[in-house]
């Protein structure tokens, strides 16, 4: 059991460091120290710091894809499926904003082509599941025909905007997204806003 546990310890320590210090600010030496491992273990399991980062991202993407697949298989109306997607994605992103910022930075700057391509590939798989749900709603007539990619970009973009620039929402209030109870309030506000938005936008006009 020692080796798998050590591998997981490395991933756990790395994710915390990446979230706190960013990708560039984190070294393999720091990861090894926090994980109680040695440098050779990181090289053996992951090859490099980039390999550690990609493993963390792949796990996150695969976990979310598994959740999306379960939602898609529910015997419920497409609108309810979409609501569950919004709730799940919003909660995941706002529960670890620092890591989302780092991932968003990697995608926006594309400084590491191999990492960028792998992240995009993993994200496209999740995108396909969401598209399928919306296509189903349109085919059944419960959604009006819309530009699906633009709709998904609006949903995901709004979540990213709140996560990366919360002051646009909290300015003038006492809410602080770094405080857990305030973050929960903002998470629920965002979920309510987005579900109301897609419900209004997708419901066929009479």
Give residue 202's pLDDT band: very low, low, confident or very high (50, 70, 90).
very high
Give me the residue label for tokens 């491992």. 37
State the Cα–Cα distance between residues 45 and 6, nearest whole angstrom.
10
Q: Is 167 exposed, middle or buried (0-12, 13-18, 19+ CB in 10 A)?
A: exposed
pLDDT tens-digit profile of 16-53?
Answer: 888 788 888 899 999 999 999 989 999 999 999 989 98
**Token digits of residue 69:** 């697949």
For the chain, residues classed under CATH 1.10.357.10 are 53-202
pLDDT of residue 119: 74
Task: Tell me the pLDDT tens digit for each residue of 145-185.
Answer: 999 999 999 999 999 899 888 888 998 899 998 899 999 99
Q: Is the pLDDT of residue 129 over 60?
A: yes
pTM: 0.80
Residues of the chain with CATH 1.10.10.60: 1-47
The superfamily CATH assigns to domain 53-202 is Tetracycline Repressor, domain 2 (1.10.357.10)
10 Å CB burial of residue 68 (0-12, 13-18, 19+) is buried
pLDDT at residue 2, as a whole number: 47
Domain 1-47 maps to which CATH number in 3.40.50.1000, 1.10.10.60, 3.50.50.60, 3.40.50.300?
A: 1.10.10.60
The residue that leads in pLDDT, 62 or 199, is 199
d(C-alpha 189, C-alpha 197), whole Å: 12
User: Mean pLDDT of all residues in the chain?
Assistant: 88
Q: Is the pLDDT of residue 205 over 50?
A: yes
CB 9 within 8 A of CB 36: yes
For the CA atoms of 143, 148, 154, 155, the dihedral, rounded to the nearest 10 degrees, stands at 60
- Secondary structure element (H or E) that encloses residue 136, with its range: helix 113-140
Q: What is the pLDDT of residue 77?
A: 95
Band of residue 1 on the pLDDT scale cut at 50, 70, 90: very low
- At residue 4, the pLDDT reads 60
């Amino acid at each position: 059991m020692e080796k798998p546990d050590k591998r997981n310890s490395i991933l756990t320590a790395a994710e915390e460091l990446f979230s706190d210090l960013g990708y560039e600010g984190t070294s393999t030496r720091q990861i090894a120290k926090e994980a109680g491992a040695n440098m050779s273990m990181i090289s053996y399991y992951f090859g490099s710091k980039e390999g550690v980062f990609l493993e963390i991202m792949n796990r996150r993407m695969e976990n979310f894809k598994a959740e999306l697949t379960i939602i898609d298989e529910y015997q419920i109306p497409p609108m309810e499926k979409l609501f569950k997607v919004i709730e799940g994605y919003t909660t995941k992103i706002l529960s670890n904003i620092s890591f989302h910022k780092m991932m968003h930075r990697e995608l926006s700057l594309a400084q590491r082509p191999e990492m960028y391509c792998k992240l995009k590939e993993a994200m496209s798989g999740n995108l396909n599941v969401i598209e399928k749900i919306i296509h189903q709603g349109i085919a059944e007539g419960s959604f009006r025909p819309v530009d699906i990619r633009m709709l998904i970009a609006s949903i995901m973009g709004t979540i990213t905007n709140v996560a990366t620039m919360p002051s646009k929402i909290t300015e003038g209030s006492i809410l602080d997204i770094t405080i857990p109870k305030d973050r929960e309030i903002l998470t629920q506000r965002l979920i309510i806003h987005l579900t109301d938005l897609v419900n209004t936008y997708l419901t066929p006009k009479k």
